[in-house]
Amino acid sequence: MALIQTEGLVLAVKPQSEADLLVTLFSRELGKVQVAAKGVRKAASRRRALAQPLIHARYLLYEGSNYLHLNQGELISAFPELRQDLEKLLSAQYLLGLWERVLPLRQPAPRLYRLLGAALHLLAPLDTSLVLTYVEAQFLQVLGLRPEVNHCVQCRRPLGAGKSWWALAAGGLRGECCGPPYPGAVLLSPRLKRLLRCFFYLQPAELAALEVSAAELEAIHQLLAEHASQHLEGIKLQRPLIDLSAPVILGDERGNQDGNGTVRKNGYSAAENRGDLSGGPAGPGGD
C-alpha cells in the first residue's frame, strides 16, 4: 500500500455510515479530493479530530477503489479562535463552501490553497467584512474572473482618476470617455474605484493597514456579488446571515439531518451547505 503524504484543509464532511465519514479535503498537492475516513465517528477514534470541517492538517492517504482513504495524520490547526466566535465561524464556513463548490476534483490549485489558508488566518484578527470582501475579490481574480477595473470596458482607454460607472453586463467599469452604460447606472466615486482596485492588488499582509468604512465594504461586496452572479455560473457570493439565537453544530455531530434542501435558520440552505459546517439548529434526528 503506497502512502500519499499531503497537507490539506477540510472543506466538508458527510456521514457515510455509522462509523465512517466522507471528507472533502482541499489538498495542497492534489487539489480537492474525497477521502473515506473509516471508523472516525467512533468515540475512541484518535483520527476523529482530523476529519472535521475547518481543520488544517498533514495527512497520510492511500488509494482505494473509489476514494482515497485516511491512514493517519497530524493536526496543524483547528482554528480555535474562529470557533469561539459565531460570526467568524460562519464566515469561515461560507468560504469553505465557496471553495468546495468551485473546485473540480483532483486538480491542484495552489493559488486557491494559499488564498484560503491566508483568509482563515486573517479572519480572527481583522474585521470580518474587510477579510470577506478581500477574499471575494481575490477569489474572482484567481479564477480569472476579475471585473475590469483598469480600462474602460467600452473603449479600452485607461481609466483615469475621474468618474466611473459600473457596467455589469460588460464586466467592469466605463469611464468618462464613454459615460454611463444606461441611465441610472451605479456611479463609483474616485475613492470607491481606488478601493475596489486595492482589493485585487493588495497582499494579505497589507490588508490590516487599509482604511475603509463599513459602507464602502458593503458597496464593494455588492459589486463583486453582482459580478460573480453574472460571470460565475451557479456560484453566489451570498454571505451568511448571523443569527445569534441559533446554536452552531459542527460537522459530524449534526449527523444526517441536513441534505434535505430546507432553508436553515441562519439563512443557509442545505443545498448551499452541502455537508460542511452547519450553523443551523440541531434537529431531533441528530446523533
Interface with Zn ion (CB under 5 A): 152, 154-155, 175, 177-178
Residue 244 burial by CB count (10 A; 0-12/13-18/19+): exposed, middle or buried?
exposed
The distance of closest approach from Cβ of residue 211 to Zn ion in the complex, given in angstroms and rounded to an integer, is 30
Least distance in angstroms from the C-beta of 168 to Zn ion:
16
Cell of 109: 490549485
Residue 176 Cβ, how far from Zn ion at the closest point, in Å? 8
- Helices (H), ranges, 169-233: 190-201, 214-231
Between residues 92 and 153, which has the closer beta carbon with respect to Zn ion? 153
| Closest approach of Zn ion to the CB of residue 167, in Å | 10
| Residue least distant from Zn ion (Cβ) | 152
Give the residue with the Cβ less far from Zn ion, 159 or 207: 159
Rg of the chain in Å (alpha carbons):
21
Greatest alpha-carbon span in the chain: 68
Measured from the CB atom, the residue of 154 and 238 that comes closer to Zn ion is 154
Which grid coordinates belong to 12?
466538508
Q: CB-wise, 36 or 149, nearer to Zn ion? A: 149
Say which residues have a Cβ less than 8 Å from residue 14's Cβ, sequence separation at least 6: 21, 22, 259, 275
